[in-house]
Structure 1
């Protein structure tokens, strides 16, 4: 027994020795952490750099089981050690906290002092752009005046996802997570805020970094004066004792108006983002991005002619919609997607309305509602410009029509008008009895499969649009015959110039071009580097006929995760199943694997395909009509295969297709 007691005594002594040998880490163990525990020198320490005292290190001394939480002059951080670069003399606050099992606990604020200015920390271009430079000041206005005019941006306020930042807005890079944006024009969305003289916001570098904000529309704020600090590495702005210029509508929906992301900043324009709090706003969390212009830009701006955007219709659209054999085309209203609203460029506003069950409940539209207009038709004869209108109740009226070079129909002798659903959603024409074609849809073979026609709103810059589907006209085409003619006997390769693009579910959008990638391995380094290009150049898909079926042969060099070549000329063969109604192509194998490159994360199958409007199976790829491509233009334009990269039905914030471009190999 005595030996056992001595052994426990020895072990306890050793444990105490090891604990006492770790003076830089303080652990409270299972004890509840209280505010009074989180004090400087015990829970954390503040140190100045030995060679440059304007560099300050904040270090947590808590155990690894505690997540440190810092509120400091340059924002908020959760790292164990934080490095601050403070350019100006002054006394600064620090507040330290930790996450515990019982919640977040903060200690009392403490301070540190910086004795001298260090100009090296304000040499970054961002300091000059926001303030004019050392010894100067610069005034900014919200980009909306009392007359409702926005001089540079479409409006004073945009909305972005919580993971958006300088990276996505200025650098144009894609990021995972909550990344999206809505950039409303003020003219069509005056509900955003009342037009007013909002005041001004002046950033100064005269001796210190100070800010003065004159809130003319928020009486309880008035004129606020405070300090600001830039984090040029993270593109963030911290403001103390003042709030950035904003509208009164949202004054109470942001917890910290001084915790700011810089989304973009130039000589004349600036976009600053704050977080909308869901509890305060009753809406989801998002970034409220306020758009500013400099005083110099405001003063020198001269109104120019405003050119409204217009729908862009494909080349040869007049022939497409009039047919070539049968000049009479019968149009009916889509039973799945009969109506929507569109911007002036023809892009649909409600991109999620992709089927009857996806419409918002307030519209009253569902699959059953399609019976309300099942007997409607409009038959147009392009040979003699006659028209036959059959109303949903069976009433038949004849007349004539004209179609101008911009795609505007003008009807004579009849006026289409009836309720689609909900008693208030109606199909009708403008007061001048007109529709404008806003979009033409084609199937994989290049035949017109639908068109959207729009009624221009008398006030707002938008159209209410209707989705018409052709029911007759032209010689019947065997879709599989067209596919075989376009694909069989040909070899296609990934396009190394326009490698990929991101497209909405309605096939609108896209930001890449024929010169986006190529030999530029820096601009889009998150997806395209030299190894991505090497793999793409090694890859090809060859289509051959196997009896009545189509088979494909995929060839590529395969690399491991470290970029080492493992298999040169890897090849796999399998059947390709065509579904012309989607349209889609289902392979018996995954497509090109970009492991070992910046594009290693790219889809090789279609994992989220089940969440598309028409669920897709394993290895089923959408055959996308993008940039005018179709089976009929495949030799010159190639084709796009799309995987579902985001889907609201899967819990994502948007619907998005990742398209891969293949072109004919020489």
Structure 2
């Protein structure tokens, strides 16, 4: 670029003297009050003078309408900073409702960068009430002669009243029209609008990526600490004034003015900033624009550009009159068919014992474990030292045929009773069951209602039950004391621990599922937001990862499993594109696959499907962060994921999932996350 410009300049230098006189005359002739063309000379701040480079004019019929007009010609892109925000139009129309003196800064883009002139001013002599009659002014400030106070929708008790949390997150291309045209009346309606899918970038009509995330505070408290952030009060009393009081929060108090653009749904501030959290104080002060994305009498959302953080506000009246609704306590989510899993699949009578490695933990109301203790070394000193010999003689035998229960306490005491098991997974026993110490001061016992509730069920890759967590509800706190029980003789063990794997895999060929291609899961392999209809032939909704090229690569790929002595081998075939764009059709590689049924995992001798050449080029073909998973994995070792109800027993219909660690807090990432790939039987 620089070389080209130098050649052009040298060419012009050879001719410049010949045309100097003619060029000067043409410049003088072209410089009228309506156009100030600077030609190829550099533009300096002193050139951008009102009346020469641009002009400010009041409408002849209504002096509260002001026109800002560039005189620089179409070769220069104007950059306006004015009372109603920023603009790049050749002519800007301002509708100014209030008397006062206002500033305008004019700049242009040049080949040497952006240049701004000095600040100019214009004056409005009288108020023009019609310009504040739009309902938007009334919703924001209460109407002419009134005021209205707003609060960030989170308080010191971590309560959000209207929204899911105090901040939502958007791509900064979002506008009022963009949001409301995309979601319509469904926006913020949790029953009608699936907010989790809005995390996925979509393309607007202009090809710009647009997405938003309605982040709930309980699940994303990292966004800010719970606090009483203060208030902001808008008024229309002698002007458009704002008072922001965040003194108690540590961000001080300020007064200033604001201006609404009711057509563009934007708001500008002078000498004040909207209420915000201290984490984003710098980005608030660096904002180039504030957009109102959502506005009712009770709620308002202001998005900060360019960050895309959208602050959720509620009115004082709404906050003062809000009454908490009855919110049902979360409950454990048990898998389909769980009754058969723990009662019928193996045997009518199953004997359960406490795990020798992690017999106890505390659980949330949704069944998730609070501490995640998985080994004796994980237990803290304040609880005590785990000694499995203390409780090894305990057993609980449940017979699902006659609904009888037989307990043997660690001291040999026997208790026989009956039980019921309801649809929520709650065991209710007909008599008191044994209570005894498990570790330190923590005991095994049922709750005051003689009940234990299933928190979760554990299975191996073949679908056999390997354990379950039962919880005793705390009488005061919203939690359970959880007990980890494992079947002492489930019948799932075989002489060859890999028999189920070999039966499921050997002699079969699998291919990536182009319908339910991938999903993102937590480290405990829960979660996920994609479905069997997410991908397929839709190459726009998720174009950041899924396009036609990625689909074609997936369709070309197969994994064929074959016996290899006592083990297995696998052959990968795919159309492979290298970094230079060269394509190898039918690229083939064969190697051993090693199964670790305890992880469970599958270890290959080579990378799996490479999606270079498509939007999914960044997708894992190996597992470089695998060492940071709960069980350390090597680079080509993949987590065998039970997701979407799949396991080795139904692999012919449900396929299987292989997961790699996409993010790990132990590696310095902000979260723990598994990226799982779905393979299905090749037809």
TM-score range, shorter chain: 0.5 to 0.7
The C-alpha deviation readout for 1:335-391, integer Å capped at 9, x for no partner, is 2473143243x34455x65656667x6x8469x535485536341322443434455
Q: Distance in 1 between matches of 2:668 and 2:448?
A: 42
TM-aligned CA distance change 1:398 to 1:238, over 3 Å: farther
Within a 5 Å distance, the mapping from 1:150-169 to structure 2 comes to: 150-154=160-164, 156-157=165-166
The C-alpha deviation readout for 1:384-421, integer Å capped at 9, x for no partner, is 43434455x63534143321121001234334555555
Secondary structure at the aligned position of 1:610 is classed as helix
Which is further off, 213-222 or 569-578? 213-222
Shift of 1:483: 0.9
Partner residue, 1:436: 453
Q: 2:508, 2:561 within 8 Å by CA — same for their partners in 1? A: yes
- Indicate which of 344, 347, 360 corresponds to 1:338: 360
Within a 5 Å distance, the mapping from 1:117-156 to structure 2 comes to: 141-143=151-153, 150-154=160-164, 156=165
Shift of 1:433: 2.7
Secondary structure at the aligned position of 1:593 is classed as coil
Q: Does 1:403 align with 2:425?
A: no
TM score, norm. by length of structure 1: 0.66
Secondary structure at the aligned position of 1:430 is classed as coil
- Indicate which of 310, 330, 338 corresponds to 1:317: 338
Partner residue, 1:482: 500
Q: 1:630, 1:639 within 8 Å by CA — same for their partners in 2? A: yes
Within a 5 Å distance, the mapping from 1:50-61 to structure 2 comes to: 50=72, 55-56=78-79
Q: Distance in 2 between matches of 1:172 and 1:110?
A: 41
**Whose Rg is larger?**
2
Q: 2:242, 2:257 within 8 Å by CA — same for their partners in 1? A: yes
Give unpaired runs (5+ residues) of structure 1: 1-39, 59-71, 76-81, 95-108, 118-126, 275-285
The C-alpha deviation readout for 1:565-604, integer Å capped at 9, x for no partner, is 5111111111111111111111121100000111111111
Shift of 1:469: 2.5
Q: Distance in 2 between matches of 1:263 and 1:396?
A: 70
Shift of 1:514: 1.0
Q: Does 1:615 align with 2:638?
A: no
Partner residue, 2:553: 535
Q: Distance in 1 between matches of 2:606 and 2:504?
A: 21
Alignment: residue pair count? 554
Shift of 1:502: 0.9
Shift of 1:182: 6.8
Q: Distance in 1 between matches of 2:256 and 2:143?
A: 16
Q: Distance in 2 between matches of 1:147 and 1:338?
A: 30
Shift of 1:431: 2.3
Q: 2:292, 2:303 within 8 Å by CA — same for their partners in 1? A: no
Partner residue, 1:244: 274
The C-alpha deviation readout for 1:603-630, integer Å capped at 9, x for no partner, is 1111111111211123111100111110
Within a 5 Å distance, the mapping from 1:230-629 to structure 2 comes to: 240-245=270-275, 258=285, 265-267=293-295, 291-293=312-314, 306-323=327-344, 324-325=346-347, 327-333=349-355, 335-336=357-358, 338-344=360-366, 346-348=367-369, 364=382, 368-369=385-386, 371=388, 374-375=391-392, 377-382=394-399, 383-390=401-408, 394=411, 396-400=413-417, 401-415=419-433, 417=435, 423=441, 427-458=444-475, 462-474=479-491, 476-477=493-494, 478-561=496-579, 564=581, 566-629=583-646
Secondary structure at the aligned position of 2:502 is classed as helix
Partner residue, 1:632: 649
Q: 1:322, 1:329 within 8 Å by CA — same for their partners in 2? A: no
Q: Does 1:227 align with 2:258?
A: yes
Shift of 1:555: 1.1
Q: 1:157, 1:288 within 8 Å by CA — same for their partners in 2? A: no
Give unpaired runs (5+ residues) of structure 2: 1-42, 55-69, 97-101, 107-115, 125-133, 175-194, 202-208
Shift of 1:547: 2.8
- Indicate which of 163, 184, 205 corresponds to 2:218: 184
Q: Distance in 2 between matches of 1:523 and 1:447?
A: 37
Instruction: Let me know the Cα RMSD of the aligned residues.
Output: 5.5
TM-aligned CA distance change 1:326 to 1:415, over 3 Å: closer
TM-aligned CA distance change 1:491 to 1:372, over 3 Å: same
TM score, norm. by length of structure 2: 0.65
Shift of 1:427: 4.7
TM-aligned CA distance change 1:548 to 1:410, over 3 Å: same
TM-aligned CA distance change 1:221 to 1:305, over 3 Å: same
